[in-house]
């Protein structure tokens, strides 16, 4: 079977959940082969094997000193090392801002079709790769196929439940040398400022997200307490982020993160289109808002018209009691 390249998303070898999801999807299309760029492969090898990687290509960490194009050139070199575009079934890349840009430049280099933000990937009826994307704030589902070259697909988090593969053994890594172009080396990452860790799950990967908006008036303590009782990630609406109440990296919406958790709890969020674009594909939606006319209630499976400062503490106590 042809190999499917999966770009591993990791920090120093700590593999993110999206990678296990991509490996699971890759197995539907061919032999999952992981592409690991950077340091710490020895920490990642076990997780890659557990989710079915049958081959691994490693690329030197120097690639990470530059933005986007360097990674696209690295992937192109791996495609060559793996036998060329025609020998492969697909390339799967996480749908982050960087992932999409890397995918686009790789696709252009390979003269190949590109699908971004897929929420499902499967083998096409007549061979090839079939995908589903959500469009217009999740109001439409678009089924599309790649008709030219090696399909390059970026996949959103939570597209599939990761499936561990029994008896997976750690594959031997093939180191691939990359000769970066001058253009790639023209864009230098001169500093990486690490962000403070919240200790909560990653927003895009979390099974439950509790978000706060304008209705918090800047006080996220009740939102955070409820999130912690559920083991959830904390999100924020654009209004809350623009007011400086919560970091931009927690923004849910069109210009922030697009999340698709099992449960989304919107607290004091009206539900403007820009916010809906980031959460409308959540499986179950719960809303708390003082305004019974808030558009968020049109989406909610369960809504409470009320003050979040009264409703959330009671709900937090109730969850703690049940888990107690």
Partner 1 sequence: MKIVVCVKHVPDAQGDRRFAGDGTVDRAGVDGLLSELDEYAVEEALKLSEANDGSTVTVVTVGPDGASDAVRKSLQMGADAGVHVVDDALHGSDAFATSLVLAKAIATLEYDVVITGMASTDAGMSVVPALVADRLGLPQVTFAGSLSIEGDGPGAKVVIERDGDAFTEVVESALPALVSVTDQINEPRYPSFKGIMAAKKKPVTTLSLADLGVSADEVGLGAAWTSVAGVTQRPPRAAGTVVTDEGDGGAKLVEFLAGAKLV
- The nearer residue to partner 1, 175 or 186, going by C-beta atoms, is 186
Residues numbered 215-254 forming contacts with partner 1, rule: CB under 8 A: 230, 248-249, 254
Q: Which of 43, 148, 164, 175 binds partner 1 (CB under 8 A)?
A: 148
Report which of 289, 137, 280 is spatially closest to residue 214, judged by C-alpha positions.
Answer: 289
Shortest distance, position 50 Cβ to partner 1, whole Å: 22
Instruction: Quote the CA–CA distance of 257 and 248 in Å, as a whole number.
Output: 9
Residues numbered 42-71 forming contacts with partner 1, rule: CB under 8 A: 67-69
Shortest distance, position 97 Cβ to partner 1, whole Å: 5
Phi then psi for residue 27, to 5 deg, are -65, -20
Shortest distance, position 136 Cβ to partner 1, whole Å: 5
- The nearer residue to partner 1, 80 or 301, going by C-beta atoms, is 301
Shortest distance, position 109 Cβ to partner 1, whole Å: 8
Shortest distance, position 113 Cβ to partner 1, whole Å: 3
Q: What one-character DSSP code corresponds to residue 115?
A: E
Instruction: Quote the CA–CA distance of 159 and 120 in Å, as a whole number.
Output: 6
Task: Tell me if 76 sits within 8 A of 105, measured CB to CB.
Answer: no
Locate 247 and state its tokens: 């970091």
237 Cβ contact partners less than 8 Å away, ≥ 6 residues apart: 211, 212, 213, 214, 251, 252, 253, 269, 272, 275
Phi then psi for residue 316, to 5 deg, are -60, -45
Site track for partner 1 across 252-271, x = CB under 8 A: --xx------xx--------
- The nearer residue to partner 1, 89 or 114, going by C-beta atoms, is 114
State whether residue 66 is helix, strand or coil: strand
Question: In which element (H, E) is residue 279 found?
Answer: helix 273-279
Q: Which of 13, 122, 145, 225 binds partner 1 (CB under 8 A)?
A: 145
Residues numbered 281-320 forming contacts with partner 1, rule: CB under 8 A: 284-286, 288, 292, 297-307, 310-319
Residues numbered 103-142 forming contacts with partner 1, rule: CB under 8 A: 103-105, 107-108, 112-117, 130, 135-142
Q: Which of 143, 161, 172, 293 binds partner 1 (CB under 8 A)?
A: 143
- The nearer residue to partner 1, 140 or 169, going by C-beta atoms, is 140
- The nearer residue to partner 1, 52 or 138, going by C-beta atoms, is 138
Cα 113 versus chain centre, distance = 21
Binding residues for partner 1, rule CB under 8 A, total 87
25 Cβ contact partners less than 8 Å away, ≥ 6 residues apart: 92, 121, 155, 159, 160
Shortest distance, position 231 Cβ to partner 1, whole Å: 10
Instruction: Quote the CA–CA distance of 211 and 228 in Å, as a whole number.
Output: 12
271: left (phi over 0), alpha (psi -120 to 50) or beta: left
Shortest distance, position 160 Cβ to partner 1, whole Å: 19
Residues numbered 2-41 forming contacts with partner 1, rule: CB under 8 A: 11
The full length of the chain comes to 324
Query: Could you tell me whether strands 55-59 and 88-94 are parallel, antiparallel, or unpaired per DSSP bridges?
Result: unpaired
Residues numbered 183-222 forming contacts with partner 1, rule: CB under 8 A: 183, 186-195, 202, 204, 208
Query: Could you tell me whether strands 152-155 and 114-123 are parallel, antiparallel, or unpaired per DSSP bridges?
Result: parallel
Using CB under 8 A as the binding rule, whether residue 278 contacts partner 1 is answered as no
- The nearer residue to partner 1, 161 or 191, going by C-beta atoms, is 191
Shortest distance, position 300 Cβ to partner 1, whole Å: 5
């Amino acid at each position: 079977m042809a190999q499917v390249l999966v770009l591993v998303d990791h920090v120093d070898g700590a593999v993110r959940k999206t990678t296990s999801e991509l490996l699971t999807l890759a197995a539907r299309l061919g032999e999952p082969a992981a592409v690991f760029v950077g340091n710490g492969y020895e920490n990642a090898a076990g997780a890659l094997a557990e989710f079915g990687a049958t081959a691994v290509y490693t690329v030197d960490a120097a690639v990470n000193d530059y933005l986007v194009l360097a990674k696209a050139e690295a992937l192109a070199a791996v495609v060559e090392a793996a036998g060329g575009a025609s020998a492969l079934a697909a390339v799967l890349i996480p749908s982050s801002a960087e992932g999409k840009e890397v995918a686009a430049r790789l696709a252009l280099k390979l003269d190949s079709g590109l699908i971004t933000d897929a929420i499902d990937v499967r083998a096409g009826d007549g061979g090839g790769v079939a995908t589903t994307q959500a469009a217009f704030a999740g109001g439409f589902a678009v089924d599309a196929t790649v008709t030219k070259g090696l399909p390059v697909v970026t996949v959103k988090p939570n597209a599939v439940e990761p499936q561990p593969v029994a008896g997976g053994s750690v594959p031997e890594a093939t180191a691939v040398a990359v000769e970066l172009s001058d253009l790639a080396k023209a864009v230098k990452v001169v500093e990486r400022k690490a962000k403070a860790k919240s200790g909560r799950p990653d927003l895009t990967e979390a099974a439950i997200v509790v978000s706060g908006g304008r209705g918090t008036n800047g006080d996220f303590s009740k939102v955070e307490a409820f999130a912690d009782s559920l083991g959830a990630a904390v999100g924020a609406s654009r209004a809350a982020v623009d007011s400086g109440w919560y970091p931009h990296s927690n923004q849910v919406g069109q210009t922030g993160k697009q999340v698709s958790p099992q449960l989304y709890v919107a607290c004091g969020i009206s539900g403007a289109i820009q916010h809906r674009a980031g959460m409308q594909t959540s499986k179950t939606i719960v809303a708390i808002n003082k305004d019974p006319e808030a558009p968020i209630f049109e989406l909610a499976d369960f809504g409470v018209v009320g003050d979040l400062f009264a409703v959330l503490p009671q709900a937090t106590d109730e969850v703690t009691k049940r888990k107690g």
